[in-house]
Amino acid sequence: MRSRFELQLGARLKALRLNRDLTQEALAERSRLSVDAVRRIERGAFSPTLTTLLKLTDGLAISIETLFQSDGHARRDVAEVCAFLHRRKRHEVCLAWRVLTAIFQ
């Protein structure tokens, strides 16, 4: 029997994937997982391991925190940007900052 957690996680994963215009096949490739694994997780058919969750977050280019945030968080986009920048080198963050400030001036 599928648990509420598995169903919610599957729905969240699917929403994040669709938000990025990715097919299940594309996400599987980017995450180094089988397409069947992505399908089963999205259906809530099984609980993925932490390793699998980390592969999915890499494939989606998000943090693990973002994966578990509910859609009720209005500023989840900011959390995603912060998580992305956290993985960058200092000079890349400085460049991104210069680009953002130029765009919004």
How many domains is the chain built from?
A: 1
Instruction: Write the CATH number for 82.
Output: 1.10.260.40
Distance CA 35, CA 37 (A): 5
Report how far residue 1's alpha carbon sits from residue 11's, in angstroms, rounded to the nearest whole number.
Answer: 16
Query: Which letter does DSSP use for residue 48 in this model?
Result: P
Q: Which residue range(s) make up the domain with 70?
A: 4-103
Residue 40 identity: R
Confidence of residue 63 (pLDDT cuts 50, 70, 90): confident
Average pLDDT over residues 63-79: 67
- Is residue 23 pLDDT above 60, yes or no? yes
Q: Quick one: tokens of 103?
A: 């765009």
Q: What are the helix (H) ranges across 4-89? A: 4-19, 24-31, 35-43, 50-60, 64-68, 76-86
Residue 57 structure tokens: 């977050």
